Amino acid sequence: MAKGKKSIFFCQNCGHEEAKWLGQCPACKEWNTFVEERIDSGITKGTTVAARAVHEAKVVPLTEVTADDDTRSETGIKELDRVLGGGIVPGSLVLVGGDPGIGKSTLLLQVCQRMAQMKKILYISGEESQAQIKLRANRMGNFTSGLLLLCETNLGIIRSVIEKERPELVVIDSIQTMYSEDVTSAPGSVSQVRESTNVFMQLAKGLCIPIFIVGHVTKEGTVAGPRVLEHMVDTVLYFEGDRHASYRILRAVKNRFGSTNEIGVFEMRQSGLVEVENPSEYMLSGKPENASGSVVACSMEGTRPILLEIQALVCRTNFGMPRRTAAGTDYNRVNLLMAVLEKRLGMSLGNCDAYVNIAGGIKMNEPAIDLGIVMALVSSYRNRPIDEKTIVFGEVGLSGEVRAVNMPEQRVAEAKKLGFETCILPEVSLKMVKEIQGIRLVGVKTVNEAVGII
């Protein structure tokens, strides 16, 4: 029988293969994710196995393996180094995702600008021409000759250039534009994205070259292509924030070489992205004075305490069904906390609309902001402003108790640094906080006590 082409159906979410179309993926249980792609049935796996057999596998005891953090390379951008875990690890494969226009290409071009002063950098673009990249680079400042540009989408050509030039850092913008001639489907398809990522992974590990990959995102906010793409890379970074606003949040959702709790805060300006070294002061800028429903809470992102303003608006509803809205925090968590207020404090919120917002557009889901949400709701409901020099944090349970949170001392120290005079925190966390001059600590056991203080 002549070897020709046949159709294979791929799940866009997890990459699972089936011979026919299915409504639900049997692997990830997602609906309507299968897409049809044409593949060449003449390609066999024997060539891959034969090529792999050329190299002899060596078994090494774990005790003889050496690993040193000093091999990391700093990018020159402290916020990015923090998210990466201290710098770029040689041979690592980093995926950067985010909404269109959020600043992915701008950030990586700034990394190339700073690292090209001492190293050889290769920037590969499949979406822009060299002239377009030059126009964007002119807004950022001067570049050295250490930055090399390549506008190409063919994986074979890209691979030969990387093996010939041997750069110390490679940037791919973007993975959805790359294609391999061995795969018959169109660029951006499941097969092409998976094959392209596999090629870059082999180059990164084989030549010990760190590679940054830009990935487009879907309307749900996840990286386009199969989920296996995120499993293949070492680090996954997401840009968050409204592209029409000036702030940007860089968050690691996967990191084999560091913590996934750290975030980097940037501000978008005409010359590019600028680091925000004190995000707490940035988030609290413009806070209203003597306004009800506004309170400052503290959330921990890794080792960094971030102070943020929680706003709440509670008003009588004009409809039979009250409306609940949450921006920047979990909607279901807000409903839970409102139920606690109704049961434990006797507040009648069943006929009220409630709107909760974290100012600045940042998204926080840490339980430590529970007490701040409760205080903001009570303040708006009773129309009584909270002292602007007061900060609150603590987790609220279903019984109305205020539970302990991690690293309370760092939170209090950050509040003191920004001029706050009173801190309401869980009573069980008081013994974990050393005496800090200039700020009054008030421990509370229940929500009733906290509300009584303000």
Q: Are residues 141 and 205 in the same domain?
A: yes
Q: What is the pLDDT of residue 43?
A: 44
Q: Are residues 394 and 302 in the same domain?
A: yes
Q: For residues 218 and 64, which has the higher predicted lDDT (pLDDT)?
A: 64
Over residues 55-82, mean pLDDT: 82
| CA atoms of 219 and 225, how far apart (whole Å) | 12
63 within domain boundaries = no
Identify the CA nearest to 394 among candidates 439, 449, 344, 452.
449
- Could you list the residues known to form a binding site, using ranges: 98-105
Q: Are residues 310 and 272 in the same domain?
A: no
Eight-class DSSP state of 245? S
| CA atoms of 107 and 113, how far apart (whole Å) | 10
Q: Are residues 286 and 210 in the same domain?
A: no
Q: What CA–CA distances, in Å, run from 443 to 66, 94, 392?
A: 48, 43, 10
Q: What is the pLDDT of residue 341?
A: 95
Which residue bears the tokens 């003889």? 64
pLDDT tens-digit readout, 292-305: 999 999 999 888 89
Q: What is the pLDDT of residue 285?
A: 82
Instruction: Say which CATH number the domain at 367 has.
Output: 3.30.230.10
Q: Are residues 259 and 307 in the same domain?
A: no
- Could you list the residues known to form a binding site for ATP, using ranges: 98-105
| CA atoms of 396 and 377, how far apart (whole Å) | 14
Q: Report whether 93 contacts 170 (CB < 8 A).
A: no
Q: Are residues 293 and 245 in the same domain?
A: no
52 within domain boundaries = no
Q: Is the pLDDT of residue 53 over 80?
A: no
Identify the CA nearest to 337 among candidates 322, 351, 356, 319.
356
Q: Report strand pairing: 34-40 vs 5-11.
A: antiparallel
Q: Are residues 297 and 262 in the same domain?
A: no
Q: Are residues 168 and 238 in the same domain?
A: yes
Q: Are residues 41 and 80 in the same domain?
A: no
Domain boundary among 250, 277, 304: 277
Q: Is the pLDDT of residue 222 over 70?
A: no
pLDDT tens-digit readout, 378-387: 999 999 999 9
The type of residue at 4 is: G
Instruction: Say which CATH number the domain at 114 has.
Output: 3.40.50.300
Q: Are residues 263 and 131 in the same domain?
A: yes
- Confidence class for position 415, pLDDT limits 50, 70, 90: very high
421 within domain boundaries = yes
106 within domain boundaries = yes
Q: For residues 152 and 69, which has the higher predicted lDDT (pLDDT)?
A: 152
Peptide bond into 299 cis (omega under 30): no
The vertex-189 CA angle with 221 and 38, nearest 5°, equals 150
Eight-class DSSP state of 282? H
Q: What is the pLDDT of residue 121?
A: 96
Q: For residues 231 and 165, which has the higher predicted lDDT (pLDDT)?
A: 165
Structural domain including 20 reads 5-46
51 within domain boundaries = no
- Confidence class for position 220, pLDDT limits 50, 70, 90: low
Percent of the chain with pLDDT over 70: 91
SS3 196: helix
Q: What is the pLDDT of residue 365?
A: 87
Which contiguous run of DSSP H or E holds residue 107?
helix 104-115
Percent of the chain with pLDDT over 90: 56
Number of structural domains found in the chain: 3
Query: Does pTM surpass 0.95?
Result: no
62 within domain boundaries = no
359 within domain boundaries = yes
Q: What is the pLDDT of residue 60?
A: 87
Q: Is the pLDDT of residue 3 over 60?
A: no
Q: Are residues 166 and 34 in the same domain?
A: no
Structure token pair of residue 241: 């924030």
DSSP 124-162: EESSS-HHHHHHHHHTT----TTEEEEE--BHHHHHHHH
Q: Is the pLDDT of residue 2 over 50?
A: no
pLDDT tens-digit readout, 257-295: 988 888 898 988 888 899 988 888 888 888 888 899 999
Q: Are residues 203 and 124 in the same domain?
A: yes
Q: Which of 74-78, 129-133, 311-315, 318-322 has the lowest mean pLDDT?
A: 318-322
Q: Is the pLDDT of residue 401 over 50?
A: yes
59 within domain boundaries = no
Q: Which of 116-125, 247-256, 314-323 has the highest mean pLDDT?
A: 116-125
